[in-house]
Amino acid sequence: MTLKAARLVREADVIVYDHLGAENVLDLARPEAEKIYAGKEASNHALPQEEINVLLVRLAKEGKRVVRLKGGDPFIFGRGGEEIETLAEHGVPFEVVPGVTAASGCGSYAGIPLTHRDHSQICVFATGHLKDGSVNLDWKALARPNQTVVFYMGIGGADEICRQLMENGLPADHPAAVVQHGTSRRQRVLTATLGTLAAEINKSDIRPPALIIIGTVVTLQSRLAWFKPNAS
């Protein structure tokens, strides 16, 4: 997290936080600060999104300094836009302090550069879980060569994602990877292909939070992996 974000956490009266925040961030808060958990996992939401939006407005109108703490960048599949829309509608002043989005952080810690002159001139971020629960995306665009595609929240739909990419032109041996608990001491990296990824995820018991990275940049992982989460 940035120094500014750390300062705001230390100054907050209330922290509304997600389950994907960096480890030990809440330790920065003042002992008297109220901490409200509003995390979301697949089919398990501590608070529905609409209730979170209303909660933020209520706390702010009570005159409290409120920090909405998210992991990564709140404007990249973090629902930050939805939340500040509600604040703006109610005349609540706010500021956004972006963090490092998961794709960049996980790719860096896994040894998978998202762009590379020999492999990928385009990087695309996509969600593997739409608001209606489907995975209805522009598959022809996502299956173009010489690009990297990063799927957020795609573990549950990995089989469909791989099938659609192959049906729209990518070969079964196209490289793919999963990064679970990226940038933390629990990080796991699994490399495979579009044809084997879904089975490997099931066999390895990979669960969210995890990102799927598709592209030939994945072939660099074995040589570029520098982070050893289990090292003493």
What is this structure's pTM?
Answer: 0.90
pLDDT at residue 47 tops 90: no
Mean pLDDT value across the chain: 93
Does pLDDT of 210 surpass 60?
yes
Please determine, for residue 162, whether its predicted confidence score (pLDDT) is greater than 80.
Answer: yes
Give me the active site residues, please. 18, 40
- Burial category of 146 from C-beta neighbours within 10 Å (exposed 0-12, middle 13-18, buried 19 and up): exposed
Q: Are 111 and 227 in contact (CB under 8 A)?
A: yes
DSSP three-state, residue 128: coil
Question: In the chain, what are the domains?
Answer: 3-89 (3.40.1010.10), 102-224 (3.30.950.10)
Give the CA-trace dihedral at 185, 108, 25, 39, to 10 degrees.
Answer: -90
Q: In whole angstroms, what is the distance from residue 25 CA to residue 185 CA?
A: 15
Token pair 């109220």 in the structure block, residue: 34
pLDDT value of position 84: 97
Distance between CA atoms of residues 67 and 119, nearest Å: 40
DSSP H or E segment with residue 179: strand 175-180
pLDDT at 71 over 90: no
Amino acid at the residue 129: H
CA distance 68 to 178: 28
Per-residue pLDDT, 39: 78
**Tens digit of pLDDT for each residue in 124-156?**
999 987 656 667 899 999 999 999 999 999 999
Q: Tell me the H-state helices in the chain.
A: 3-11, 49-61, 80-89, 102-110, 139-142, 158-167, 197-204, 221-224
Q: Is the pLDDT of residue 196 over 90?
A: yes
Task: Give the residue carrying structure tokens 């300062």.
Answer: 7
pLDDT at position 169: 97
State both tokens at 103: 């794709």
Q: Is the preceding peptide bond at 209 cis, omega within 30 degrees of 0?
A: yes
